[in-house]
Amino acid sequence: MKLSDLKIIISGGAQGMGRHFALRLAEAGASVAVGDVNEEGLAETVEAAKALKGKVIARRLDVAHEEDVGLFVAWAHESLGGLNGLINNAGILRDGLLVKKDRETGAVKVLSKDQWDAVISVNLTGATLLARDTVAKMVETETMPGVIVNISSVARHGNRGQSNYSAAKAALATNTKTWALEFAPFGIRVGAVAPGMIETPMTQGMNPKARAALVSAIPVNRIGTPEDIWLAVRFVIECDYFNGRCIDVDGGLSM
């Protein structure tokens, strides 16, 4: 697909990779609808795109709420004059060991169900709802070809302290294949990109020692940038023969 032909939704578009994707697409002439719970950040994304060739519009979106997702997809479709793409980018972290024993007191602590549910609701259920409703709208209006890009993570292979995040990102990568098979009759491709450690507000909030240890384990000896991930996202969109697969963009990092 040509970038300039896209009428695409991006979740988590208020900052970080989501904002970067939106601006790159607008530079190429695409029409983009960004959603996020961070309304101030959404306004900044729209402002940053004002001088670009394409257009970026924004509306509050909580992907964990089914009704909100449905309303957002309907709004995006009407506002952009159709839909033929989705980047499932929204994600949160609520890290913690599943079971932990305090070294001093011996008290045993566990990962709370709230921590588990929050991450699964946004990173997996939210992405699934967005894919479902976007594709349903595309099929209903007979819009094809179409493309979905799921943002997974290198953590899908398993990472200490991230049972919830790893589970969600692994499932999203697996469903990339599932959805590619299901949506192929409609002319819709599905691909995934799995970033390693990328410079975003999410990673900037990490514990400094943990962050330094991770960077030292990356063979290319640097943290990634949103542009590194955009190059892979662009490939998934533009290569009409790419389908049902996940691209790791992690500098060679192994977890």
12: part of which helix (H) or strand (E)?
Answer: none
Report the alpha-carbon angle 167-162-171, nearest 5: 15
Amino acid at 68: D
Task: Please name every residue paired with 247 in a beta bridge, in sequence order, or none if there are none.
Answer: 193
Buried b (16+ CB within 10 A) or exposed e, 193-225: bbbbbbbbeebeeeeeeeeeebeeebeeeebbe
How many angstroms separate the CA atoms of 27 and 54, rounded?
6
Q: State how far the Cα of 91 lies from the Cα of 129, in Å rounded to an integer.
A: 14
To the query of whether residue 165 is one of the catalytic residues in this protein, the response is: yes
| Burial (Cβ within 10 Å: 0-12, 13-18, ≥19) of residue 25 | buried
CA-CA-CA-CA torsion sign (86, 134, 171, 178): negative
Q: Which of 21, 72, 165, 183 is catalytic?
A: 165
Q: Between the CA of residue 15 and those of 34, 38, 48, 189, 226, what are the distances in Å?
A: 10, 9, 11, 26, 10
Beta-carbon contacts of 131 under 8 Å, excluding residues fewer than 6 positions away, are 86, 88, 148, 150, 175, 179, 190
Pairing of strands 146-151, 108-110: unpaired
- The residues annotated as belonging to the active site are 165
